Structure 1
Amino acid sequence: MRFGLAIAGPVLMAAAGAGAQILEFSGDASLQARWYPESPAFPGQRSSTGGLVVEPTLYGDIAPSASLTVTALYRYDSADSRRTHADLREAYFLTHGDWGENSWELRLGLDRVFWGVAELHNLVDVVNQLDLVEHPRDRPKLGQPMVHLTVSGDWGIAESFLLPYHRKRTFPGRSGRLRSSLPINDDGRYESGAEERHVDLAFRYSHSVGLLDFGLSAFVGTSREPSFLLGRQSEPSSAIDAPAILAVGRDEPVVDAGWGEPVPYYEQIRQFGFDAQLTTESWLYKMEAVHQTLKHI
């Protein structure tokens, strides 16, 4: 159940030289409630929860070819303390211009990027981290710090990304109804010695040819999708080889009594992706494919 309110409107418009500077404010606010007809599976869980969500956006034109966008999110949840959280979804400076017959655009700051064509699961979408405490299926994204350069022309669109900081995936706490059998530890471990400050690189080329839209992408850096470590071992440097640690598949940790809380483990990967969509009068044909390898360091 959800009751919401959306607001929007200009805050300030002032003449400045040859142009006008505009500051706009918009956003959403909603009261939400959940009720589960089935009894809780684990102690500490509730059959109903309530909460508040506020997501304001501030947009400003600061020059004829430059703007600033800030989008924040705050959620309060009555049952799960981990689901009560705040995040900067977007906070970036945008500037753009022409380069010969081509156009360019540069974004600096936190932003959300979407790659792919599928509705349910996007294999090629690797830039942003997921905010799973928000929703396990809608796959909302955390804001990702980035330098994002786009160059476009008749030949297509080329995008380059420099990603200087990795964000850990959020998971429901012990009181969350939509959690795994074992509550997942908040702390994450990294294969890279630079941990969350490892600099990642990404590139994407996309183009449209007749009825076909396609994209080619590449990513090198820290995986957004963690594996899980189980056990009492606490030293990241020896976590992989220690017999007390069990590394299990992604998405869902294996349940094994006595292992303790699963700890997310973020590996170094190389990923190459391809996505395509063919549009006909009655049908959309979609495809996503990736080749991913571990980048041992």
Structure 2
Amino acid sequence: MAVALEASLDGQGRIVSWRHDLWSSGHTHRPGRTSKPVLLAAGELARPFERAPAIDPPLPSGGAQRNAIPGYDFPDVLVMHHYVREAPVHGSSLRSLGAFGNVFGIESFMDELAAAANADPVQFRLRHLEDPRGRAVIEEAVRRSNWTSFDKTEGRGHGLAYARYKNIGAYCAIVAEVEAGAELRVTRLVAAVDVGLPVNPDGVANQIEGGCVQATSWVLKEAWRPGALTWEDYPILKFSEAPPVEVRILKNQHPSLGAGECTMGPTAAAIANALHDALGVRVRELPLTAENITKAINS
């Protein structure tokens, strides 16, 4: 999946136009969704089954397009999905589908635009967001993280990201704190979420914590490559590397919303924004390995 973004600012530092292009399949290759087999093994038989293409469901659910429309109040928005029907690698459905990549791109770009407008990234987001529930999760994450009193020393940084899942689901804001040494380490995550009426607050907290940790693993470690068969070939986050996660659930009487996937994109973007705060380099290719960070610095 690849994303390209463009935007224009007016003289007051407000976004007046936004364009989002994405190239991806539909992210829906999983059993039970089509009349044709989609398991990888079905294509490896002596007489292989024809493989069904990945369908991209329409919005608001979406597949690749999920969360491609920014959740802010911009006067002019254009989103273009360049559907990739066939690719050398057959992907399946990963938690949050295209929302992960789209939110990573959007929220990384929001920080870049805030810098171009000479604005604080928190206030820049609030400037473009009227939804009181969205504003509330941003403000709560910032408050609980002690954003304004962050101990900014060499190699340390913090970053913010926000999204409403599918633009109709749970609201989530993440503040990440990182230390950049030989490798990037996430030292703290603060998640503020609004899932409507939380029927089971413990269950909600578990989903949020788990999503934050899984997204951290994706961002720091995970990238498929041909021939990857072991955890050495495909490393994931270790227990010793998992950051502490503080979850704040904003309770209200609105209809209940799913909590399982709302953290994925915001966690990724918050970590990338924190890396930029720490080193002053913008890394646009995941994962945030030493190799990719060095490549971004040298470019």
Q: TM-score range by the shorter chain?
A: under 0.3
Task: Pick the structure with more helix per residue.
Answer: 2
Answer with 1 or 2: which has the greater Rg: 1
TM-score, length basis structure 1: 0.28
Task: Say which structure, 1 or 2, has more relative contact order (CA 8 Å, 6+ apart).
Answer: 2
Task: Pick the structure with more strand per residue.
Answer: 1
